[in-house]
Amino acid sequence: MRTVFLFPGQGSQHPRMLKDYSLTDPIVADIFSEVEQVLGEPVNKLDTKERLASTVYAQVCLLIAGVISARRLLSRGVKADYVAGHSVGAFAAAVISGVLSFADALKLVWDRGTLMEQAYPKGYGMLAVTGFQLPRLQQIVNQHNQHHSIVYLSNINAADQQVIAGEILSLNALAGILESAGIRKAQLLNLSVPSHCPLMQGVSTALKDRIAGLKLNESLIPYCSNYSGRVLTKAETIGDDLWKSIAATVKWFDATTLIYESGVRIFIEVSPSGVLSKIAASSFPEARILSLDSGSLDTISWLWHNSEAAYR
């Protein structure tokens, strides 16, 4: 009976998402002071509605919430056998795994968000689709790409849930084609950046240089790769995953299936939770899914200790 911590990516942020963290908790106080040192601003200025509309602040706030909430769980004795971060969530996962310091992760995420935002300011986006298995979707996308501006498979989240990135005009046309083929849902996401596809090659290369200049530490908790869908244990390959994945398909379904096959039966999604819990529940109906924001920290820790004991 193993446990994974899931770290959500962009789309999971919401205004004032950091407001409930109390400075009386030393975990929170440490992180908040590091944030202020690195960014030169207090945390309560970062998670406003206006700022979260920017990719940069959304990603930074997700990192902060992910690291704090995972550390709080660990401090209650909840143990993670694996960490898995979705897209930018991978940086929080790398921090909890021990590979990246929080301060380094913060600088990287700030730069990543900034570069992403600058790379494709307008006319690009992402389309979330639900209902088709991958081979069928891939076939339709390949045909579509022969007549339209090329779009890319950017996320494989579940057996029948994927995301496609590219020019909005082309994505809209694809949505029409998929709908007439009978897909259950094809919906443009509220994102202006075509993440996880070759359009991000420049961002990927820039991140590679920055990560090369960092000192990475030994990984203490195995880390699920976005890029390869494998479990990684070496600091260097985890570092590589962080820059490679921005320009490549996120293999979330593979990564989570792999750890399920390896014995994970408890999935805990850290804050701000919901999206990854839903995906996990649809992929692994027999697993125990704990969404951190669905209860108090005490409740979630208690549920974990209980489930863990039941299976031991």
**Near another protein by CB under 8 A: residue from 50, 209, 261, 298:** 261
**Near another protein by CB under 8 A: residue from 257, 282, 294, 307:** 257
Q: What Rg value do the Cα atoms of the chain yield, rounded? A: 19
Using rule CB under 8 A, residue 306 touches another protein? no
Using rule CB under 8 A, residue 78 touches another protein? no
Asked whether the bond before 26 is cis by omega within 30 degrees of 0, the reply is no
172 membership: H or E segment, kind and range: helix 168-180
Using rule CB under 8 A, residue 183 touches another protein? yes
Query: Nearest approach, Cβ of 286 to another protein (angstroms)?
Result: 8
| Nearest CB to another protein, comparing residues 141 and 183 | 183
Give the interface segment with another protein, choosing from 67-75, 179-187, 266-274, 277-285 (CB under 8 A).
179-187
Residues 207-236 that bind another protein (CB under 8 A): 229-230
302 to each of 4, 62, 223, 298, 307, how far by Cα in Å?
A: 16, 25, 25, 6, 9
Tokens of 64: 């902060």
**Near another protein by CB under 8 A: residue from 23, 184, 198, 220:** 184
Query: Nearest approach, Cβ of 265 to another protein (angstroms)?
Result: 11
| Nearest CB to another protein, comparing residues 76 and 185 | 185
Query: Nearest approach, Cβ of 234 to another protein (angstroms)?
Result: 14
| Nearest CB to another protein, comparing residues 103 and 134 | 134
Q: Is the dihedral of CA 283, 288, 290, 294 positive or negative?
A: positive
Counting beta carbons within 10 angstroms of the beta carbon of residue 10, is it exposed (0 to 12), middle (13 to 18) or buried (19 or more)? buried
172 to each of 157, 169, 227, how far by Cα in Å?
A: 21, 5, 26
**Near another protein by CB under 8 A: residue from 254, 278, 282, 287:** 254
Residue owning tokens 């993670």: 80
248 membership: H or E segment, kind and range: none
Contacts to another protein by CB under 8 A: 131-136, 159-160, 182-184, 229-230, 254, 257-258, 261-263
